[in-house]
Every structure is written in C-alpha cells, then in structure tokens.
Chain A
C-alpha cells in the first residue's frame, strides 16, 4: 500500500491545479507556457501557495554572510529581482520561500483548459484508420540482448535444470546459469487504430499584422494545439503564411516571419486546398483549418474567390473551419463581415471569432473549441 503522503501529494496537486484554473486567464494572456523540453511536461511557476503568516517584510533588510570582501562588494548570487525578501534569515527553521514550480503533463493542462472553458470532447469523424504499432514487453523469449535479461526467470530455469540433473546442493545453494537457461524479456507487437487529425494554420503576415498580433496568434495556437493534442492521439500541424502569395513553412518560420505587402487571402486557401488534396483524405482525417488575419483583404473579387474555395473544397472536407480576426492598429478589417454575412455567426462548419487583444484569447479559444467539432 502506498504511504499516506501520496494522498497528501495528490491533494496538493489538486490544489495546484485549482490555482492554475483560477488564474488560467492570466497565464493565457501572458503568453505561452514554458515549452516542454523533450517530454510533455510543462513547468508552471506558482508563487503564491505559501501559508500567510505574520512575517518580516522589507527587501532592504538584507542579511548576514561569511567570507571575503569589503564594504560595497556585491554578495554573489543575490540581486535578481522577484525573489522573496528577507529569505533564509529565519534561524531555526528551514522555510526558505522558494518559488514553487509545478510540473503538469500535457493531458493535465489540457484538462484544466477543458474544465475551465467547459469544452466538450471532440467527436472524431471517420474511421479509426491510422494503424500504429506499439511494442510492449509482455513476453519472455530465449534470445535477446543482455540488457533485457530477466534475472529471476533465468535463475529459476537454472535451478530447475540443476535440480533435474541432481547437481543442486541445498546446503551449498550455488546456481550457475548456462546459456540455455537465459531468458529475456521480449516484445509483442500490438496494432492500434487511431483517429488522426491535421491542423492547418494559416496566417496573414502582411504589413498590417504587427508583432503583437502575431504573438496573440502564437499564444492562441499554442492552446489550441494543446487541446487538440489531448483529443487526438496523433496529430499533424501544417503552417501556411501568406501576404499576396502563400507558402508553406515550418513552425518556427510561421511565427517569426514578417513580410509586407498586400493581402490576397485566396492564395492561402488555394494552398490549403492543395495540401488537403495531396495529403489528407477527408474520409480518414479530421481536418482543422485555422486562419488568422486582420481581415484586410485586397479586393472584394478576391473575397469572392475565397468564399468559393471554402464552399467547394475546404468546408466539405474539414471538421470545422475557424477564422480568427485579430484587431490590429489599423482596426478590424472587412473579411470578418464578409464571412459573417455569408455563414452567419452560428454556422455549423464555420466558426468566426474576433480577438481584440491578449485578454480576448481565452474567449476566442472557447469560440473555436466550444462546439466539440
């Protein structure tokens, strides 16, 4: 049985998750979570979980130390701002007020997002068509590398053999396995079928989209990815940037590029269509095109082309098409109204959302994902 501390620990984790949920809006509007390093674990700084007590404040209080140096010399390692003042001066107890860093897995964080925004689980469409093979070490074999040697089984085999041939002496129980006694853990291949999804991000990088707007898109797509990744086992991301022409880029370029020039949204939709047709069969894939722009399309003719593309190709093959209009310093463009006029706010396959500023990100995420598509 586990030690009761494990219950205290899960209690603590629950409290922490509650705190994150309470402050989700703050975390979201502050930008991305610390990117996972290697593993799917997020580190979230959490300053305020200390039990309040009457205690001394005042940063200028300073403290005492031992070592070389003259008056006026800096004390090593001090001086970063934001550290708890008066720390560690409490003789006789070890309650240094370290900043707490909480680790959450992708699933836990997505769950918090889901609970806070009351996001419904997505009903995947299509068959479970993607085969994936996983290896599980569930059986025992007679060949294998030393690193997978199963010591217990090996010795048991050796013991059996020695008992059988009569070389086992209970008073001097020395067991020496020979080659044929060796047993190894071996893998069974399991095939699993999964739903698969692709998210196609399109972003307007024309001159009117500033750094602030791009940061908003970046943050929003981080959270959208987080949610979709918790819903689909395998998910692919494709990134398209466009001004008057469109091209496919990788993630890093997507968020960093800044180009100038006019905006032809249709160029992006063309490329999106090509990608879908080339790589993703709508019958097997859950397709999520997201488009972010400030809504200033070059001409109404182009808008017409866009709508046609949407109607003929993109909408029929996607789960849902999401358009987010980020307000830039030039105001909000016309494209939102055009889409709105055609599909209305409550269309089934099109979700429109306006993002006014950083604080609007969370609501916009709810708009996009709140329908469970």
Chain B
C-alpha cells in the first residue's frame, strides 16, 4: 500500500494549508485531515473497499473493483475524492487531476470532515475504524485459515443478506445508555416475576381446590410446576436489531456469531452516512462552493471550476441528486434565516408583496446552518426545511410507470405528494422496516418476523432468497408477515419450500 499512496508535498501541500485556513476561518471544526495522493487504480481499490485499505477478504469487493475499473477504463466514471470518517480524517486525492479540481476536492473534504465530527448521528461512530476494520480482516482471515475460505465466505454471504436490517436507535446507544437500559429491563423483569408469582399463586389455589374437589390423594402441585406451562414470549418486545438478535440467540458456532458481530459493527459504522447522504453532500458542496468562489479560485480557473461544479450539481429527471438538493436547501435555510423568512408572522402573512419583500436583516443564516448540520438527519432535514417555495424553485416532481404507454411519466408536481414521497423514500434509510417478533413461533422454535408495511410491497423473489439465508443461520423455519396488494399474509420457509401460511 505505502508505495501506492503518497502524502502531500509541494504545491498540493501549500494548497491544503491555504484551504484549511479558509475552512477554519469560517468556523468549520474537524479532526486533522490527512490527504493522500493515489493513482486511479489505488483509488478504485480503496473505493471498492469502502475507503479502508485493509478489510476482510470477500468476493463482493472484487466485484465492485471490477465494475469501478471498467467504469474508469471506458471513461464512464471517475472518482474524484473519498473521505473516511476517522480521527485523523483520511482523504484520498486522485493523482493527475487538475489543480483546480484538487482545490475543489480539498474544500469539499473539509466540509465532510466537519460534518463527520459535528453531526449528532455520527457522535458514537468509532473514529479508530481503520484499525477496527484491519482487526476484523485479521480475525476473519484466521477463521478462514481454520475452517476454509469457502465455508467462511458462504457464511458471510448469508449474513450480508441481513446487513440492511438495522435499528437506527442503536446509533445512540453508548455504553452508559446501554447499562441504563439493561438496568431498567432488569427491574421490569423483577417486577414481572413478582406478578408471575401472584398469578401462579392463583393457579395453585385453583389447582388446590380442584384437587380437593376430586378428593384424590395426589400430592399438591409443587410451586413452580405451574408456570412451566406458561409460554413466555421471546423477545418480549419486537427487536429491530436483527443481526444482534441472531448473534445472541441463534444456534451458532463461536466463529459464526463472531462474524455476525463483525459485520454488524461495520454495518452500523456506515449507517450514519446512509442516514445523512443529502445533508452530508449538501454541506460539503456548500463549503467547496463558498471557499472556492470567495477565496481560493484564481481568475484563470473559473471556467473549469464552473464546469466541474455544474457537473456535480447536475439535475436528473430520473433521480434526486443529493448534492444538488442538499446545497440548495442549505442555501435556502441560510437565506431564510438571514432575512427572517420563518416563524408564524412570515407564514401567516397573506400579503404577497409584503411577503416577497420580506427582510428583517436578522443575519442568523450562518448560525442556523451550523445548528442544522449538527442536529438533523436527512429525514428531519427535509421534513423541517423542504418548503413549497423551495420545491417549486427546484422543479421537483414525482414520476410513475404508466402501463398504458409502457414508460415512466411525470406523475405530479403537487408539493405535498412530492414531500410525502421524498420522506417515505428516506424512511428507515430507504429500507423496509422489519422486526423479529417471536423466536418461538407456534411454540416450535420458529422465527417470526413482521414487515411494518408502509405502502410499498417487498420484492417477493428477493424476500424468498433472504429468508433462505436467515434459515441457514436460525436453522428452524422462518416466517414473515407482510402485505401484498393490501392484504396481510404470512410466508414460511421451512428449509425445503417456500409457502404462504394460512
């Protein structure tokens, strides 16, 4: 690795110092940023490994590498930059880029670095992830040494099937919080036990009377016998952190549950980035644009900068460009809080001229956007700041498949419909919400999961394949309750076949 990556020197180093100073002047706050310059192959390698030079061996990284290398070779795509959420914060620059691109990337990187450090959703990520990932690699390689690569890789494939079944609340579970929660649970359990005793007392007295009534000479039922018949529901409350649940409860070898824990830890490490894509990119773009246009650009570089900036901000009719929406939203917030266009007075004002000319010269914009970047995630960000006015200015629309014309067509430009669609596409980071309800379904040790249906059906084929993979871990039948065409239904995979349950 070390001969492929080189630290900054010469002109690039000067640029870094210069741009870092601008960023700090603006109040951006970040861990030290370490830039490294790599050639395109190295950057493809790093990108396919999620930015970490050392990870566990798995074919999927090879697949991503294959795709990235081809994309680069055919000129379809090029990775300009990569930032890793660590302390120090590592960032990679592509060797041979224009100096103006390198500047832009550096400014962008400082934006990301500030976001990583200050956004609440990142508050508990492990900043030493470089080492953690490398350790994971070592562990899994050792397991491969003992059990054979094929076996381990096949197991990893199965676990990766569940990689998206995460509980976002876990992000805020520090060790203290965890301890607290465990204590409360313990107390609740103790209270439950007392209750249990009460109930079994009643049962005992019932049985006593029954015995008396039968006038049989059998011994009284021993205490404790009675509640043996009571089936306790486990887990008591639905569990969304399914990887954790399986690691703790499935009949697994030690290495298997260790691997589940490893993959779970990595998935949760990446989760905040999935929750804040729009904000994170918007924030970084806001800062590269501000720093470049106000300070760092030379006159001769303006055309190139404008060209590349426009490329990054390009709107698409097929997808939402997170860079574009993010930067515009931050600018909109800044403008609104600078001019005081918020609050009840502004909203209730029905004089259009007055509204149009509204300016209270509050100058709160900068303060507000710094506050927003610290406290929000994509979904709350949009929920709170995505206004009708903004939606119209940004020309957003939703599209839909029209079976009659066989193509995708613009569906509506109605603000509420768009907002709703936007928010629901971000709900649970765009993944279906699935809980484990019962680990002893039908009293036969079957696993029961419920899909909390929110308007969109699951892909049936993928669901079936996924359930097969869960079966391989749980080793008893897997049941899934979901909805298709608005009808609730339960499917079961019993190890041989996949069938609906009545």
Contact = CB atoms under 8 A, between A and B. Distances in A.
Nearest to B48: A5
B407 interface: yes
Nearest to B316: A65
Contact of B399 (A8, A54, A63, A91): A63
B426 A91 contact: yes
Interface in B158-210: 160-165
B401 A59 contact: yes
B58 interface: yes
B62 A11 contact: yes
A53 B153 CA distance: 17
B57 interface: yes
A86 B430 CA distance: 11
Contact of A60 (B57, B153, B400, B413): B400
**How large, as a class, is the contact surface on chain A?**
35 or more
Given A53-B466, A54-B462, A60 B164 contact: no
Contact of A65 (B273, B320, B406): B320
A112 B395 CA distance: 52
B466 A52 contact: yes
A60 B411 CA distance: 11
Interface stretch (A76-84, A137-145, A294-302, A328-336): A76-84
B398 A62 contact: yes
A63 B319 CA distance: 7
Interface residues of B, number: 85
Interface in B412-462: 412-413, 418, 421-422, 425-426, 429-432, 434, 451, 456-462
Contacts of B426: 91-92
A69 interface: yes
Interface in B198-243: none
Contacts of A12: 59-60, 62-63, 66
A69 B66 CA distance: 37
A7 B45 CA distance: 12
Contacts of B466: 52-54
B408 A74 contact: yes
A172 interface: no
B312 interface: no
A71 B402 CA distance: 12
Given A65-B399, A72-B409, A92-B277, A51 B157 contact: yes
Given A59-B401, A65-B319, A88-B319, A98 B57 contact: no
Given A64-B422, A91-B426, A73 B409 contact: yes
Contacts of B61: 5, 8
B395 A67 contact: yes
B463 interface: yes
Interface in A20-79: 49, 51-79
A72 B410 contact: yes
B324 interface: yes
Contacts of A62: 398-401, 408, 411
B277 A52 contact: no
Given A91-B277, A92-B274, A71 B413 contact: yes
A78 B451 CA distance: 30
Interface string B372-395: 000000100000000000000011
B311 interface: no
Contacts of A63: 318-320, 398-399, 408, 425
Contacts of A54: 164-165, 431-432, 434, 451, 458, 462-463, 466
B473 to A, nearest CB: 13
A348 B431 CA distance: 62
A22 B153 CA distance: 19
A91 B378 CA distance: 9
A7 B325 CA distance: 39
A86 B455 CA distance: 14
Given A55-B459, A66-B315, A89-B430, A8 B410 contact: no
Nearest to A61: B456
B399 to A, nearest CB: 5
A1 to B, nearest CB: 10
B403 interface: yes
B457 A11 contact: no
A105 to B, nearest CB: 15
B283 interface: no
Interface string B48-90: 1100001001111111011100100000000000000000000
A317 B67 CA distance: 49
Given A68-B395, A78-B318, A55 B407 contact: no
B246 interface: no
Contacts of B468: 52
A58 B399 contact: no
Contacts of B431: 54-55, 90
B407 A51 contact: no
A100 interface: yes
Given A10-B62, A65-B399, 8 more contacts: A4-B57, A52-B466, A63-B319, A63-B425, A64-B320, A66-B325, A75-B317, A75-B408
19 contacts: A3-B4, A8-B58, A12-B59, A12-B63, A53-B161, A54-B462, A56-B432, A57-B459, A59-B401, A60-B400, A64-B422, A65-B316, A66-B320, A69-B410, A71-B410, A75-B410, A91-B278, A91-B378, A92-B275
